[in-house]
Structure 1
Amino acid sequence: MLFCQFAKSQSLRDISNGLRSATGNLNHLAMGKTPSKSTVGYQNQNRSWELFRDYYYVLLESLGQQAHMKRTKFKIRSKIFLLDATTISLCLSLFDWAKYKTKKGAVKMHTLLDYDGHLPAYVNITDGKTADNKGAYDVPLLRGSVIVADRFYNDFSLLNAWDSNGVYFLERHKDNIKFKTLKELELPEKRHQHVLKDEIIELTGNKTKDKYPRKLHRVALWDDKNQQTIEVIANQMSWTANTITELYKARWEVEIFFRDIKQQLHLKSFIGTGQNAVMIQIWTALITILILKALKTQAEHAWYLSNLVAFIGLNLFVKVGLHSWLDNPFAKEQPPPNKNIQGVLF
């Protein structure tokens, strides 16, 4: 299945024939015999996808530390997580178990992304109908951590559960919430001109006030790129308005992760139609992106992720030292041999 991801195989036959063509190079994988098409199909149907999920989390404990990359440092000691969900479309006539719309199937990948390594700390895969905020109730909570989310998680029952468990949250709120201002904070005169409003508020809606009776820190900022005002709320009163805006900007990293995993890996089509096969392919894609990001961080060469995926696919069974190749992928041109072996006399 990792070969399927790197080679972007489109079918079981592609996997079997692709591995068969590299038979002499499979010894280091302890594969005495290339798996046939029927063998791969049988394993996709019968081997539980939970094995691949557990394997991802085991690898995350070791390789995840190596995948940490340079990032914007905030003046807070809390662990930062970015929460969002993405929809993976499926053909309902083939994947009849993936209910989404009348003529369209899908699964939804609810992802809690670790800001340090830009890798999922937790993934919950549901049917396409599950709302983003409903899928977030299963997200494990780390006391003292920060969860940054978009407006689809503006569920005050969910926010109250996070707050009660000692989790800080920061999210964009909906335009129609009702609140009253308890205290308006001063804005810096010469810095952070994008901050329009900084205040402490309290919800006044009949239902929302019962769901979340505590105070909230509200910040309005101007998004110059999209020419719009963005309003966010947090349950941390001591953060500055600029820290809140920078934290919210960091949420874009989860969108980049979704783009990478869909564009660089094999998730646009599936080699099996059963639910187990689809889950296996999604989790092996997550394992692949984990390995790629760890290798990218370790390499001295400044790889782009797209180039790294392409080069590994081209050199998948080339016998070469992996780390030396990652550090220096392009061999230097050798000077032409000297044709004048004997010195010229005249």
Structure 2
Amino acid sequence: MRFQNSVFVDLLKPIDRRAFAGIVARHKGDAYDKSFKSWDHLVVLICAQLAGATSLRALETAFNANGGFHYHLGSRRLARSTLAEANARRPVGVFADLFARLSCELDRRTRRDGAELLRLIDSTPIPLSKFHDFARSNGRIHGMKMHVVYDPGIDRPFCVEVTPANVNDVEIGKKTPIEAGATYVFDKGYYDFKWWRSIHEAGALFVSRPKSNTRLADVAEREMPQTRGEGYTVLRDCEVELASKGDSKLRMRLRRLHIRRDALKDGKPQEIVMITNDMTRSAVEIAALYKARWAIELLFRWIKQHLNIRKFLGENENAVRLQLIAAMIAFVLLRIAAHRHDVDLPCLRFAELAGRFLFTRRPISRLDRPPSKYQAARRLASPRQLVLNYA
């Protein structure tokens, strides 16, 4: 009978072991943990994400209970003390570089020719308990933040960085590589004229919201052939320039749009103001771009609800960072597997089934289907009974 890998082995197949070994060598990832290699560490942390293990003891028990699969995973038996030490000492760069490589693989598999280059930039808070003494507070939460650049068209996060909670969002935004022809959408947390100008000079576009104290002078009104969009109405569209007495300059053409959303806030229609350097798209199209920013909020919600980033396997900063990056690696592996095996299931349902059947030998494309009668009969047969295999 044809050999069938477990679901977990198939999920890990997109990882090039030779390339991963190069990453480990570059970061000296195995310098201090020679018996518990970086690959062993990666496999265990991804298992924790997909299986929903929330403690070292639970992870140790669940992983070792499936010892028959360790050979094909290229891993070995787990001791929680060994994992705790590796979480504290292994360089985060090993997992971060692997995530970047897998994100490129996801882009290669899902990229559509002629698709619009839309980049959503945002961060999400990661609250931590008082036992994480390294955590910082920003006035709202005590913990860390995870910054993500996200392509909603192909459901691809391709830049991830973890920082203390008191780091300003725009400081991480400035590190984002700018792609010519792309449109970057972000909120007020990324308010920085110099960065906006660098986006414009790189041949890219941005859509954001100005702060209430930004002084903008009207230059010219723009025509609005269409004012009604899905869930909003464009009230005004005009070209503006910065009216500042200081040294702040924005040497580019800008547009300011006033949008009224149909959703009520405190019983009243909500009006928002947007600013952009896009002089080509219609006002309705630009408003739709900012509305699409909600997709990254849905990404954060999905990750927090269905992956393990609420309870951490260590109390030190390195362990928290490793677990967050491992969660993003698990997300990308699920997305690659869904495209590779033509899985026709909602993301939530596919993730639940993958976690449930992680160490089961069955095709990923048939996770939602019961095993065949022949396979069920073979499992019920006595181990002493000879089984005839027909060619």
- Fold match by TM threshold 0.5: yes
Mapping 1:119-268, distance limit 5 Å: 119-188=156-225, 192=229, 194-207=233-246, 210-226=248-264, 227-268=269-310
Aligned 8 A contact 1:160 1:212 in 2:
yes
User: How far does residue 281 in structure 1 lie from its aligned partner after superposition?
Assistant: 0.3
Q: 271, 281, 288: which is aligned to 2:313?
A: 271
Give 2:127's aligned amino acid: S
Aligned 8 A contact 2:241 2:250 in 1:
no
Q: 115, 118, 143: which is aligned to 2:155?
A: 118
Alpha carbons of structure 1 residues 225 and 294: separation in structure 2 relative to 1, 3 Å: farther
SS in 2 for 1:210: coil
Task: Work out the CA distance in 1 between the residues paired with 2:88 and 2:326.
Answer: 15
Q: 1:313 and 2:355 equivalent?
A: yes
Whose RCO is larger (CA < 8 A, sep 6+)? 2
SS in 1 for 2:263: coil
Task: Work out the CA distance in 1 between the residues paired with 2:78 and 2:204.
Answer: 47
Give 2:334's aligned amino acid: L
Q: 101, 104, 110: which is aligned to 1:58?
A: 101
Structure 1 counterpart of 2:29: none
SS in 2 for 1:205: coil
Q: 90, 104, 117: which is aligned to 1:79?
A: 117
Aligned 8 A contact 1:160 1:211 in 2:
no
Alpha carbons of structure 1 residues 189 and 239: separation in structure 2 relative to 1, 3 Å: closer
Task: Work out the CA distance in 2 between the residues paired with 1:113 and 1:99.
Answer: 25
Structure 1 counterpart of 2:133: 96
Aligned 8 A contact 2:227 2:284 in 1:
no
Task: Work out the CA distance in 1 between the residues paired with 2:140 and 2:196.
Answer: 34
Q: 34, 41, 51: which is aligned to 1:7?
A: 51
Task: Work out the CA distance in 2 between the residues paired with 1:172 and 1:297.
Answer: 35
Q: TM-score, normalised by structure 2?
A: 0.76
Give 1:30's aligned amino acid: G
Q: TM-score, normalised by structure 1?
A: 0.86
Aligned 8 A contact 1:64 1:290 in 2:
no
Alpha carbons of structure 1 residues 15 and 169: separation in structure 2 relative to 1, 3 Å: same
User: How far does residue 312 in structure 1 lie from its aligned partner after superposition?
Assistant: 1.3
SS in 2 for 1:144: coil
Task: Work out the CA distance in 1 between the residues paired with 2:140 and 2:110.
Answer: 40
SS in 2 for 1:206: coil
Task: Work out the CA distance in 2 between the residues paired with 1:332 and 1:21.
Answer: 22
Alpha carbons of structure 1 residues 45 and 82: separation in structure 2 relative to 1, 3 Å: same
Task: Work out the CA distance in 1 between the residues paired with 2:164 and 2:86.
Answer: 23
Alpha carbons of structure 1 residues 43 and 333: separation in structure 2 relative to 1, 3 Å: closer
Aligned 8 A contact 2:145 2:165 in 1:
yes
SS in 1 for 2:78: coil
Q: 7, 28, 40: which is aligned to 2:72?
A: 28
Alpha carbons of structure 1 residues 238 and 10: separation in structure 2 relative to 1, 3 Å: same
Over residues 20-55 of structure 1, what are the superposed CA-to-partner deviations in whole Å (9 max), with x where a residue is unaligned? 111112221123x31211121121122111100011
- Aligned residue pair count: 324
Alpha carbons of structure 1 residues 196 and 29: separation in structure 2 relative to 1, 3 Å: same
Could you list the runs of 5+ residues in structure 1 that have no partner in the other structure? 335-346
Alpha carbons of structure 1 residues 230 and 129: separation in structure 2 relative to 1, 3 Å: same
Alpha carbons of structure 1 residues 243 and 167: separation in structure 2 relative to 1, 3 Å: same
* Larger deviation, residues 167-176 vs 298-307: 298-307
Could you list the runs of 5+ residues in structure 2 that have no partner in the other structure? 1-44, 374-391
Give 1:13's aligned amino acid: R
SS in 1 for 2:248: helix
Q: Percent identity?
A: 28
